[in-house]
Amino acid sequence: MGRDDLKSKAESGGFVEYGEEQLPKIDSMRRDKSQPDFYGVPILHDADVMYCTASEIGNKPASCYTCQIQQSDLTCGLLGPDIKVAKVTGSQDSGDPIEYWPCCDEHDYGNPATGKPSYRPNLSTPDQVGLIWINASEVGQPFGGANCGGGNGGDDCDHYIVKGAVEKWDTPEGVCRVLQHTVENGAVCTAWRDDDELDWQDAQQLMKGDSVDKIKKAKMVKEILQ
């Protein structure tokens, strides 16, 4: 629309107040801005992925063992009595043991429940809450699980990046590729990812005695066939 076509009145200072005749233009701008690729891929904010600082999770990695929803018999108050959310030690083909700690997106920092286990009436499924098992750097360490940089005994997130040729777990902070800002080494969020995590079905197989390498090979074949 050209200047000569403007029928709207100019406010004092020369700013044109839009009138009815500009509505099609404004609507087209609104439509364009609502397209997902207008500003590139949307950047997630802290609340979108339930970002927690290191102190908010007791300076320990996130796992069922620091979650107040874990029940006294190592089940989960959200998942019911049939799924054990217990750490498990598997054996690799080399014979070396490897330990895995469970965690999910609903992790709620605190001491696990004591007393008789109880469950919520509307139970979730392991897939709904993103239940996974996370390997620890050592067997028998006091706490394992997820955090950004792998400090405090945690397993580092693939999205945590640092400058220079240093080990991630020795850095106090790094940059998160998801949140696009600096994060503490000991923080965590629900976008945590590691190429070595086990899904919950794998963990159940591990508890039944399958070797870690057998499970990983079966998983690779499954992914190729998908």
| Residues at the site binding ligand SF4, with contacts judged by CB under 6 A | 49, 51, 64, 67, 69-70, 76, 78, 85, 102-104, 106-107, 129, 131, 148, 157, 159-160, 176, 178-179, 183, 187-189, 191-192
Spell out the residues 6+ positions from residue 199 whose beta carbon is closer than 8 angstroms to its own. 131, 132, 133, 219
Least separation in angstroms between residue 152's CB and ligand SF4 is: 13
Output helix, strand, coil percentages for the chain, rounded to the nearest 5.
25, 20, 55
Least separation in angstroms between residue 102's CB and ligand SF4 is: 6
Least separation in angstroms between residue 12's CB and ligand SF4 is: 48
Complex with ligand SF4: residue 46 or 213, whichever CB lies closer: 46
For residue 103, list its beta bridge partners: 132
Contact predicate 90/135, CB 8 Å: no
Complex with ligand SF4: residue 69 or 215, whichever CB lies closer: 69
Measure the CA–CA gap between 178 and 158, rounded to whole angstroms: 10
Contact predicate 102/63, CB 8 Å: yes
Complex with ligand SF4: residue 49 or 88, whichever CB lies closer: 49
Complex with ligand SF4: residue 99 or 106, whichever CB lies closer: 106
Complex with ligand SF4: residue 14 or 164, whichever CB lies closer: 164
Q: What is the C-alpha end-to-end distance of the chain, expressed in Å?
A: 52
Least separation in angstroms between residue 54's CB and ligand SF4 is: 10
Least separation in angstroms between residue 98's CB and ligand SF4 is: 20
Contact predicate 206/215, CB 8 Å: yes
